[in-house]
Amino acid sequence: MSKSSVYSWRIDPVLKQDLEQAARTEQTSIAQLLEQIVQDWLYKKSSPDDEEVQQRLHEAASQTFGAFRSRDSKGSEKVRERVRAKLRQKRATQRPD
């Protein structure tokens, strides 16, 4: 990337030393390290926070939350039995006699 802009600012000497040490550790220049830090920060700020995303997803999904109402309080316990009965009935009507 071609660089055509210059930006400078004053920082605390201790922060400058920490930045220089970090650049040495990363085996890069201070300018490249600062550019990466700024890019990461801008990306993080422009991307919605994971918690925000999860909250929006939860709110959208919560509109579908609910319970099925039935006159049969044991309905969910009898599902297997009812499905098998319906399948038997369906197969019986499909058999040519």
**Positive or negative: CA dihedral 35, 37, 38, 39:** positive
Q: How far apart are CA 48 and CA 46, in angstroms?
A: 6
Residue-wise pLDDT for 44-71, tens only, equals: 877 777 788 888 888 888 877 776 667 7
Residue-wise pLDDT for 5-32, tens only, equals: 888 889 999 999 999 999 999 999 999 9
Q: For the chain, what are the domain ranges?
A: 10-47
| Cβ(23)–Cβ(33) below 8 Å | yes
Q: CA nearest 30: which of 38, 22, 41? A: 22
- The whole-model pTM stands at 0.47
| Cβ(22)–Cβ(33) below 8 Å | yes
